[in-house]
Structure 1
C-alpha cells in the first residue's frame, strides 16, 4: 500500500506505519476463527520525521486522549477480509490526522445586542407577564 496522504504538505511514508493483525469478531462464519482479518495500524506522531514542526504540537495536543507514549493506534475489524480492513484503518488514520492538523477556528468577536432586539425582548417579557397576571385569581 502506498504512502498515506494527510494534506498536500503532510504525507506519511509507508515505513513509518506499523500494522498488527489478529483474529476479528463479528461476521465471517468459520473463517473468523482462522483468518487474521483485524488490523491495528500504529503511527508514532511524537517522533515521526514526516510531521511538519509547526503541526507537531497541535497534533499532540488534539490527539492527547488517543495517544499512548506518542503513538496513535487505529483498529479496524468491520470488514471480513484483511485488505479492506487495512484500507479502512488507513482512511480513518488519515481523517483523524487531517482533523487534528486543521487550523483552529477564528475567535468569535463579541457583539452587543441591538437596541431594537433589546426592546423586542422586553416587550415580549411584558406581554408574557401580562398573560400570567390575567390568570391569577384574586381572593378578596
Structure 2
C-alpha cells in the first residue's frame, strides 16, 4: 500500500513492476543482476485519485504517460532492487503530493506607468525605423 497522505492511498496491486539490468559502474555485479526498476501505473483507470486530481495529474505529467494511459517511472539509482522499487514509489508519491495542492489563483496586476512608457517608446522607435525603410514619395 502506497500511502501518499491521510486521504490518498494506492494499493500495490495497481502497479506493475518490471526489472532489467541497470547501466553504469558496478563491474560483474551490474552485469548479472536485474536491479533497474520500471513502474507502470494505469492512471486513467485508478479509483484511488479523485477525478479532478487525476485530470491535474494527467495534464501535468502527460509526457510521462504512454499511449496505453500508463504512467512509466524508472529508477536505477541504487545497486539493489528493493531500494529502486522504494525510490520509484517515493517519486510517484512526490508527484501526487505536488499535484494534490490546488494551483494558486493568479492575482491580476496592472502594468506600471514606466512599463507602459517603455512599451510606447519602443513602438515609436520601431515605427520610425520602418518609415525610414519606405521609398521616398513625391510629396516631399
TM range (shorter): 0.7 to 0.9
SS of the residue 1:28 aligns to: coil
Q: TM-score, normalised by structure 1?
A: 0.73
Return the offset for 1:111.
4.1
Match of 2:23 among 22, 25, 32: 25
SS of the residue 1:20 aligns to: strand
4+ aligned runs moved over 6 Å, structure 1: none
- Alignment gaps of 5+ in structure 2: 118-140
SS of the residue 1:48 aligns to: coil
Q: How many residues align?
A: 115
Provide the C-alpha distance between the structure 2 equivalents of 1:100 and 1:55, rounded to a whole number of angstroms. Answer: 7
What is the Cα-based RMSD across aligned positions, in Å?
1.9
Provide the C-alpha distance between the structure 1 equivalents of 2:20 and 2:108, rounded to a whole number of angstroms. Answer: 50
Provide the C-alpha distance between the structure 2 equivalents of 1:49 and 1:59, rounded to a whole number of angstroms. Answer: 13
| Cα pair 1:4 1:14 within 8 Å, conserved | yes
Partner of 2:54: 56
Aligned pairs for 1:1-140 (under 5 A) are 3-68=1-66, 69-111=68-110, 113=112
| Cα pair 1:76 1:89 within 8 Å, conserved | yes
Return the offset for 1:55.
1.4
Return the offset for 1:113.
4.1
Moved more, 12-21 or 48-57: 48-57
Return the offset for 1:101.
2.9
Q: Summarize deviations over 1:68-91 as a string: whole Å, max 9, x none.
A: 122111100011111111111111
Q: TM-score, normalised by structure 2?
A: 0.73
- Alignment gaps of 5+ in structure 1: 122-140
